[in-house]
Amino acid sequence: MTLSVTIPCHISVSLPIHYHIIISCFSRPFCTVPSPLPRPQAHRPYFALRMRRTVTRKVNRKKQVMATYEDRYRSLGYLFYSIAWCDRNLIQAEIDSLKRMVKEHWLVVDRNYDELGIESAQYIEVTFDHAMDIRMPAKEAYQIFETAQTEEPDRFDKKTRELILLSALAIAAASGSVNRSEAACINELTELLQLEH
């Protein structure tokens, strides 16, 4: 599977060489300043979403980690939110980029539904919206993903980890440029996902 992510040509982010990333310039001028995003309103009853399908894995041979498909996608929602909000400037373009990646990639690779009839990958958007609604600090959101990934490092296969990184890149580049905070988060994520440089 070859993914294309459009990022400005002047951005320098340390990424694995073998990724198939098509880099092109944005058609709009870089001087264009995106309009700030107004305070969002709640979209979905996050509290009503329940966890069902359970997968049990051994961690450090001492304890069991009970994870669901929804848990994994929720952790991704927190991760992508932390990338968008790490510079404390979350704009509509970043939200649109997330929705596009979910629709064009995540919903394609996973068509599973929970017992409420919600597609599992939709929990990415649900959690992103929830974190945005409560103005969760970016660091706290990232730590949720980091903790889950550390406790269960094999929860995602290599192709999925590459898709995670490309999704994060697409969100960071959506504003027209990747600043230092976003670049630092991308590099930290690359190490966490154990992807080669």
Read off the pLDDT of residues 150-184 as tens digits, 9 standing for 90 and up: 998 988 999 999 999 999 999 999 988 899 999 99
User: Is 19 contained in some domain?
Assistant: no
**Do the domain assignments include residue 16?**
no
Residue 112: which pLDDT band, with cuts at 50, 70 and 90?
confident
**What tens digit of pLDDT does each residue of 59-88 get?**
333 333 335 778 999 999 999 999 999 999
Amino acid, single-letter form, for residue 15: L
pLDDT of residue 14: 52
The sign of the CA dihedral 131, 133, 134, 138 is positive
pLDDT at 11: 46
pLDDT band at 47 (very low <50, low <70, confident <90, very high): very low
How many domains are contained in the chain? Answer: 1
Asked if residue 114 is part of any domain, the answer here is: yes
| pLDDT on residue 117 | 74
Instruction: Indicate whether 171 belongs to any domain.
Output: yes
**With contact defined as beta carbons under 8 Å apart, do 87 and 156 qualify?**
no
Cα–Cα distance for residue pair 16/39, rounded to 1 Å: 36
Domain that holds residue 174: 52-192
Is the pLDDT score of 48 beyond 50?
A: no
Residue 128 forms part of a structural domain = yes
Q: Whole-model pTM?
A: 0.68
pLDDT for the residue 67: 53
The verdict on residue 143 lying in a domain is yes
Domain annotation covers residue 28: no
CATH of the domain at 122: 1.10.3680
User: Which of 48-52, 88-92, 172-176 has the lowest average pLDDT?
Assistant: 48-52
Q: State the pLDDT at residue 120.
A: 84
Is the pLDDT assigned to residue 149 strictly greater than 50? yes
For residues 25 and 23, give the distance between their C-alpha atoms in angstroms, rounded to a whole number: 7
The answer to whether residue 13 sits within a structural domain is no
**H-helix segments, the chain:** 69-85, 92-101, 107-109, 122-133, 138-151, 158-173, 180-192
Question: Tokens representing 123?
Answer: 């929990």
